[in-house]
Amino acid sequence: MLTFFTDPYESELLYGAIGRYHYYIGNKDYKDTIREIFVNENVIPTLGLASYLDNVSNNLGSKYTSNYIIKNHTIFPFYSPFLPENRKIELIDNMKYSDGKGIYHKIGIIAGSVCKKQGIYYCPECAKNDIDKYGEVYIRRDHQLQGVFLCKNNGVKLKKYKINKTNTSRLEFIKLDEKLLDLKVEYEEDEDISEKLISVSRCASYILNTNLDTFNKDIINKKYRQILHTKNLLSINNRIRQEELYDELISFYGDKFLELMESSIDKNDEYNWLKVITRNSNRVVHPIRHILFINFLVENIEVFLRQRNLIILIHLENLLGHA
């Protein structure tokens, strides 16, 4: 059991905490750090997810359970509510007890990636605040999410860190160095785009930091159909009015924004994401596209995910809107 470990900051990736541990413990070789943390020298560091977390938890004592680490210090909760229940269980077991091989593929990050990120991202404004408060900068997990371009706290553009896996050892846990950060603050010039991007960032952070264990792909799909029904987007035989749905969603977001989010829709494609997301199929749709769809349906992801009387609320809003 370790006698010292760098406690993760709020919503810091485990990856980042291990990078700081390596720095403060003074290890020369990352293999030593990997062996000390994971009790297994064959682990390859990954940024957003992790493996052998049961080993890590046991090694850290009773302070951190593997479930706690998954929920608070990986990006898994961002994907979890939109996965089939059996796959959620399988992926959690993979992170706890195995090397996590194939986990990125199973979660949909590889094949179904949207706005894929290569490297580590940070917010200059948050970085300056971290330096003032902690004397160092840490890797926030919400800044690493695909499709998140602006910081939810201040609307500042996220920036890519200079060091990444292409210019360093694959065994290295990269630690953010203040000297290598570009702390110049930049904003999205298009006000409408900026507003939409901040909304996406806030929704993504809400999903990431809220306990949504009871949700899965089937439950989300049923809620979609209920809301579509209240919006008169289901036919008498319970089929989705895809043409009308397409037109309304395009009108809501605009082609420019959807293109930016790599979520343009070809209505002639039988497997475009809008058709797939509204069907009870085995295909998994990226969380960012779920966010786009939810914001279109109710414009409030907290209401969608937390309110039991969501359908009644929407129906009342529609009645008041037509009054």
* 161-165 long-range Cβ contacts below 8 angstroms, 24+ apart: 161/119, 161/120, 161/121, 161/122, 163/120, 164/118, 164/119, 164/120, 165/119
d(CA 159, CA 150): 9
Quote the pLDDT of residue 232. 93
Quote the pLDDT of residue 258. 97
Domain, as residue range, for 79: 14-180
Do 174 and 225 sit in the same domain of this protein?
A: no
Would 209 be classed as within a structural domain? Answer: no
* 247-256 long-range Cβ contacts below 8 angstroms, 24+ apart: 248/296, 249/274, 249/293, 249/296, 252/296, 253/196, 253/292, 253/296, 254/192, 256/193
- β-sheet bridge partners, residue 234: 240
Would 32 be classed as within a structural domain? Answer: yes
d(CA 243, CA 265): 12
Do 84 and 166 sit in the same domain of this protein?
A: yes
Would 1 be classed as within a structural domain? Answer: no
Quote the pLDDT of residue 315. 46
Contact 125, 154 (CB under 8 A): yes
Would 193 be classed as within a structural domain? Answer: no
* Lookup: tokens for 178: 């203040």
Angle at 222 between CA 219 and CA 223, to 5 degrees: 90
d(CA 125, CA 106): 34
Sign of the CA dihedral running 181, 185, 188, 194: positive
Give the pLDDT confidence of 67-86 residue by residue, as tens digits.
999 999 999 999 999 999 99
Number of structural domains (the chain) is 2
Would 204 be classed as within a structural domain? Answer: no
Do 252 and 165 sit in the same domain of this protein?
A: no
Quote the pLDDT of residue 313. 52
pLDDT block averages, 10 residues each, the chain of length 323? 92 97 95 95 92 95 92 97 94 93 80 83 98 97 97 97 89 96 98 97 96 93 92 89 95 97 92 90 90 92 72 50 50
- β-sheet bridge partners, residue 12: 140
Do 115 and 228 sit in the same domain of this protein?
A: no
Quote the pLDDT of residue 317. 52
Do 232 and 111 sit in the same domain of this protein?
A: no
Do 34 and 155 sit in the same domain of this protein?
A: yes
Do 223 and 308 sit in the same domain of this protein?
A: yes
Pairing relationship of beta strands 159-160 and 121-122 according to DSSP bridges = antiparallel
Give the distance, in angstroms, between the CA of residue 296 and the centroid of all CA atoms in the same chain.
19
Would 36 be classed as within a structural domain? Answer: yes
Quote the pLDDT of residue 108. 74
d(CA 242, CA 233): 8
Do 20 and 162 sit in the same domain of this protein?
A: yes
Quote the pLDDT of residue 310. 52
Q: What is the chain's length?
A: 323
Do 166 and 266 sit in the same domain of this protein?
A: no
Give the pLDDT confidence of 125-175 residue by residue, as tens digits.
999 999 999 999 999 999 999 999 999 999 999 999 999 888 889 999 999
Cα-only R_g, the chain: 21
If you search the block for the tokens 């994971």, which residue do you land on?
A: 38
Quickly count helices (H) and strands (E) in the chain.
16, 2
Would 293 be classed as within a structural domain? Answer: yes
Do 37 and 144 sit in the same domain of this protein?
A: yes
Quote the pLDDT of residue 166. 82
Would 208 be classed as within a structural domain? Answer: no
Quote the pLDDT of residue 136. 97
For the question of whether the overall pTM of this predicted structure is more than 0.75, the answer is yes
